[in-house]
């Protein structure tokens, strides 16, 4: 029996540029009424994810920053694994030397050095404020993660991932969309966040359904007894999934829940 559903947000239960569909909202409401824990597991910052949780009337803890931060609905921190300051400073130097735009997240606040089209695209519809400043003016500590972005060249982003993995094999570096390269603590993984809450609630792996669409969701869906990939997902996540559901536009989340849970 499934007691917990851990779901990614963007591309899984929410299509880009849209609101949550009535079917997704109704499905999650039904799960909540049945006492099934529905947990949002996202690369988003907590300050953004909390809006999604409230829109869905969820009161479960939120796993944000790829698993680097877990806060309950009232803002109490349950789990926090930051990117080391020395690593963060190195990545900032790497980005500057290569002319790469990065988002820097410190204490759940977003900083950028240039107010450009990239950051405007990134924050669109996500309820996010950001500060434009030189990173030299900031104290580089309590770094939730760094996100490197190129909106035009997915191959370039893949190259960054491989380059940084070779340079920092001890860190967690992954593509979260074709255009986003995430750099975080090795303990900032979606799977570890799911395991933390499962242990807290006393759930076994086989009592958990996990669902996602991107390569940063691969370890998420491997953390569940039933791991579901979206039809709009990457080839990598489809290869490891137990089941491939419909696309986010066609409410694939709802269809998976109806098949395995309801």
Cross-strand partners of 134? none
CA 193 to chain CA centroid, nearest Å: 11
Whole-number mean pLDDT of the chain?
Answer: 97
pLDDT per position as a tens digit, 136-188: 999 999 999 999 999 999 999 999 999 999 999 999 999 999 999 999 999 99
CATH class of the domain whose range is 85-184? alpha beta
Percent of the residues in the chain that have a pLDDT greater than 70, as a whole number: 100
Average pLDDT for residues 30-48, to the nearest whole number? 97
Cross-strand partners of 105? 110, 145
Confidence of residue 198 (pLDDT cuts 50, 70, 90): very high
Fold topology of 4-80+188-260: Rossmann fold (3.40.50)
pLDDT per position as a tens digit, 72-112: 999 999 999 999 999 999 999 999 999 999 999 999 999 99
Confidence of residue 126 (pLDDT cuts 50, 70, 90): confident
User: Can you give the pLDDT at residue 52?
Assistant: 96
Backbone angles phi, psi at 24, to 5 degrees: -65, -45
| Domain locations along the chain | 4-80+188-260, 85-184
* Measured distance CA(121)–CA(91) in Å, rounded: 22
> Which residue from 12, 47, 35 is spatially nearest to 227, judged by alpha carbons?
12
> Which residues are marked as active site?
8
125 has a pLDDT exceeding 90: no
Residues 22 and 251 sit within 8 Å (Cβ to Cβ): no
């Amino acid at each position: 029996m499934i007691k917990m559903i851990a779901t990614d947000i963007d591309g899984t239960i929410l299509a880009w540029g849209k609101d949550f569909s009535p079917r997704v909202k109704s499905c999650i409401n039904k799960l909540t009424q049945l006492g099934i824990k529905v947990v949002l597991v996202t690369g988003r910052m907590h300050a953004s994810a909390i809006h999604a949780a409230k829109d869905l009337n969820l009161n479960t803890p939120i796993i944000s920053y790829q698993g680097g931060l877990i806060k309950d609905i009232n803002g109490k921190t349950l789990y926090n694994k930051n990117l080391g300051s020395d690593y963060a400073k190195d990545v900032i130097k790497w980005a500057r030397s290569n002319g790469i735009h990065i988002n820097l997240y410190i204490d759940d606040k977003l900083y950028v050095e240039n107010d450009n089209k990239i950051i405007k695209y990134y924050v669109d519809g996500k309820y996010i404020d950001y500060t434009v400043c030189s990173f030299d003016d900031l104290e580089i500590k309590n770094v939730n993660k760094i996100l490197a972005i190129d909106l035009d060249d997915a191959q370039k982003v893949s190259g960054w991932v491989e380059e940084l993995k070779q340079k920092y094999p001890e860190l967690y570096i992954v593509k979260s969309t074709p255009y986003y390269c995430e750099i975080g603590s090795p303990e900032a993984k979606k799977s570890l966040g799911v395991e933390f809450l499962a242990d807290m609630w006393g759930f076994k792996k086989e009592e958990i359904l996990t669902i996602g669409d991107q390569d940063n969701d691969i370890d998420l869906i491997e953390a569940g007894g039933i791991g579901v990939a979206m039809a709009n997902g990457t080839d990598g996540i489809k290869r490891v999934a137990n089941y491939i559901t419909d696309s986010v536009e066609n409410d694939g989340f709802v269809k998976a829940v109806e098949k395995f849970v309801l």
